[in-house]
Amino acid sequence: MKLIVAVVQDQDSNRLSNALTKAKFRATKLASTGGFLRSGNTTFLIGTDDSLVASALELIRDNCRAREQMVAPVSPMGGNADSYIPYPVEVEVGGATVFVLPIEQFHHF
C-alpha cells in the first residue's frame, strides 16, 4: 500500500478531483498555500494499492498542467531591498509536486 501526496495549484484541483473520482480513487483534499508565490494550492492524500500507483500518477500528470503566469513579487520584509524587483515577472506555475510514501498499516473504521 502507498500514500500519494500530490500538491497541485487550485486551478487544477477540480479537474484532478473529478478524474480521481471517475477512476474510483478515494482522495482527501486539503487546502494549502505555496511558500514561494504564497498562492492557493490543494494537497491530495490518496491511499492506494501498489499496483495502482502508476495509474494514479498518470491521472495527476494528465490533469495538472504547468503554465506561465505573471506574478507581482512579494516585497522583502526586513531583508535586503537591493535585489527586490518591483514589477511583475513571468514564472512557471501549476503542474504537481508528488510524493509516494510506503504505508505499513491501513485501517478504515
- The full set of domain ranges for the chain reads 2-73+86-102
Predicted local confidence at residue 30, as pLDDT: 95
2-73+86-102 architecture in CATH?
2-Layer Sandwich (3.30)
Please list the rounded mean pLDDT of every run of 10 residues in the chain (109 residues): 94 94 96 72 95 97 81 59 64 81 91
Predicted local confidence at residue 34, as pLDDT: 72
Contact at 8 Å (CB) between 14 and 60? no
Predicted local confidence at residue 32, as pLDDT: 87
Predicted local confidence at residue 87, as pLDDT: 74
